[in-house]
Amino acid sequence: MRHWVSRHLPHRSRWTDWSLATQFAVAGGIVMLVAMLITGQWMAARIEQVVVRNWANATALYMESFISPLSQDLAASDDLSPLAHKALDEVFTSTALGARVKSYKIWKDGGLVVDASDHSLLGRRFAVDGDLARAWKGEVAASFADLHEAENAAEAALGVPLLEIYSPIREVWSGRIIGVVEFYELATGLEADLWEAKRRSWATVAAVLLAIGAVLWGIVLKGSRTIESQRAAMQRQLRDLSDLSRHNMALRLRVQGAAARSAEMHDQALRQVGADLHDGPAQLLGFAALRLDGLRPAVAAVRQAELTEVAGAVSDAIREIRAISRGVSLPDIAARNPCDIVAGLAEAHRARTGTEVAVTCDADSLPPLAAPVKTCLYRFVQEGLNNAWRHAQGQGQQVRLGTEAGALVLRVLDSGPGFAPAKAETGAEPDGGGSGLGLAGLRDRVEALGGSFETINRPEGGAEVRMVLTTVRG
């Protein structure tokens, strides 16, 4: 049905634009038309078959009362007596039966014509088939005459509708079939009655199918209207959701932008703190150390030990301040390659802790990175390596930077004891760590850029800190 519609509708796209009720009306109308033709044709054929059979049985019974007594000679001979021939001629020409029966033949076994209204057929043989063969089996067979065979030339010349009936002739005392009578009855009235019966059957089938179709169409129409209203409501909801999604996306981008600006301000503040520490307290303490060295000759020998302790404390303070200044300050990384940043951090970590760091960086796959992303990358590697050195004693330290499915992926790994199960879920420091504010700060920084942050225990042992960013281009 779908292929039929696609071939015969002028615009195929219009079919999908129609409502469910309209589609049902078109498709159902075609189906019901085909069903009406098939059902009507079947009913008309059944009516004709039943009417013709009943008519033939009634007529054959009536004819048997005339012909059977005159045809008993056929039980012993292949011919009728002259008296029987004359009597049959008078029956079909001088009685009311002749007005109904326009022609007749009496057959003997083997297709031999032993009597006929057309005397030229007497003694001739014809093929035994069709209704004639059925009659020899004891059935009464009838059909509207097909007058194209040579034996029916006389009947064809009449030019009127005829009902061809074959009826067996039985021997009176034994019931054995001794012959078959074939007669052609005028069927003008029967034909008209059949056409009227067929017309009424067609009308009945059409009315029933139309009533069924109307009821079904009403049900489908109601469902179609419900579907259309629900579809309209869903489309409105979809538009509202789309507007809400766009609004949420704009808000998310604004939040990410604000978080990125906050992180940048935080980094600027740290750089300023580092610069202030280096240029302020560190310089003053350096001046104090110089003054202490200048005062050493004037101090009594008994106080030299105390002076040395003070000078040592001042030197330690200077080193601590400079270390803090270097830790909170960022180098100029905006113009540096990401792989160079990672390699530089690994080298600085190796120089400071004396532990090796294996660096894997796929420079060809990395896109240009925005400045906030480079800052996040720097802090991530810095904090990750510090955790690996503090909690895994620097065992199996690795840094891996590359892209996976279009996203930037950065991993810092070690071969230490790993995270405790609860802490692996929350992203806290590994066992033996402090408050975990370093990793928590990293999580906030990564998520502010729209990325994801994970802390994982490696199957082969050790910890992994992973960062995945999808929006990284500068």
**CATH number, domain at 164?**
3.30.450.20
Number of domains composing the chain: 2
pLDDT digits (tens, 9 = 90+) for 347-384: 888 888 888 999 999 888 888 888 788 888 888 998 89
∠ CA 294-299-300 to the nearest 5 degrees?
155
CB 453 within 8 A of CB 443: yes
Beta strands of 264-309 (E only): which ranges?
none
Q: Copy the structure tokens of residue 433.
A: 């760590």
The pLDDT assigned to 9 comes to 47
Last residue of a domain, which of 197, 218, 249? 197
Contact 369, 447 (CB under 8 A): no
The yes-or-no verdict on residue 1 having pLDDT over 70 is no
Instruction: Report yes or no on 19 lying in a domain.
Output: yes
Span 54-64, average pLDDT: 75
Does any domain span residue 191? yes
Q: Among 36-50, 215-229, 235-249, 400-414, which stretch is predicted with the lowest mean pLDDT?
A: 36-50
* pLDDT confidence of residue 155: 64
pLDDT tens-place string over residues 411-470: 999 998 888 765 544 454 444 333 334 788 788 888 888 889 999 898 888 899 999 988
Residue 389, in any domain of the structure: yes
- Residue 2, pLDDT score: 46
pLDDT the model gives residue 121: 84
Mean per-residue pLDDT, 89-95: 73
What is residue 448's three-state secondary structure? Answer: helix
Supply the pLDDT for residue 97: 65
Average pLDDT over residues 156-163: 71
* pLDDT at res. 40: 78
Range 154-178 average pLDDT = 79
Least confident of 15-19, 205-209, 320-324: 320-324
Confidence of residue 332 (pLDDT cuts 50, 70, 90): low
Q: Has residue 256 been placed in a domain? A: no
In 297-432, the DSSP E strands lie at 357-361, 397-404, 407-413
CB 185 within 8 A of CB 100: yes
137, 170, 197: which is the final residue of a domain? Answer: 197
pLDDT tens, 134-145? 888 888 888 876
Cα dihedral sign for 121, 126, 128, 131?
negative
Alpha carbons 311 and 258: distance in angstroms, whole number: 46
- HSE-up (13 A, CA, CB side) for residue 187: 24
Domain that holds residue 16: 2-197
User: Higher-confidence residue: 333 or 386?
Assistant: 386
Residue 220 lies in a domain: no
In this structure, the dihedral spanned by the alpha carbons of residues 201, 202, 204 and 205, taken in order and rounded to 10 degrees, is 110
pLDDT at residue 24 is higher than 60: yes
CATH number for the domain including 411?
Answer: 3.30.565.10
Mean pLDDT of 42-65: 77
Q: Give the lowest-confidence range in 201-210, 341-350, 415-424.
A: 415-424
The amino acid at 455: T
Mean pLDDT of the chain: 78
Per-residue pLDDT, averaged over 166-188, amounts to 84
More reliable by pLDDT, 259 or 130: 130
Run of H or E including 452? strand 452-457
Task: Tell me if 168 is assigned to some domain.
Answer: yes
Q: What is the pLDDT of residue 357?
A: 92
**What value does the mean pLDDT take over residues 252-274?**
68
| pLDDT on residue 203 | 85
Say if residues 470 and 423 touch (Cβ distance below 8 Å). no
pLDDT score of 300 more than 80: no
Mean pLDDT for 308-318 is 73
**Residue closest to 385 by CA, chosen among 373, 397, 375:** 397
Last residue of a domain, one of 167, 197, 227: 197
| pLDDT classification of 200: cutoffs 50, 70, 90 | confident
The mean-pLDDT minimum among 5-14, 264-273, 312-321, 404-413 falls in 5-14
Kindly state the average pLDDT of the residues 303-322: 72
Indicate the pLDDT class of residue 59, thresholds 50, 70 and 90: confident
- pLDDT value at residue 13: 54
Judged by DSSP in three states, 169 sits in strand
**Stretch among 232-241, 367-376, 391-400, 415-424 having the lowest mean pLDDT:** 415-424
266, part of any domain: no
- Which pLDDT value is given to residue 335? 75
Q: Is residue 205 included in any domain, yes or no?
A: no
pLDDT at 50: 79
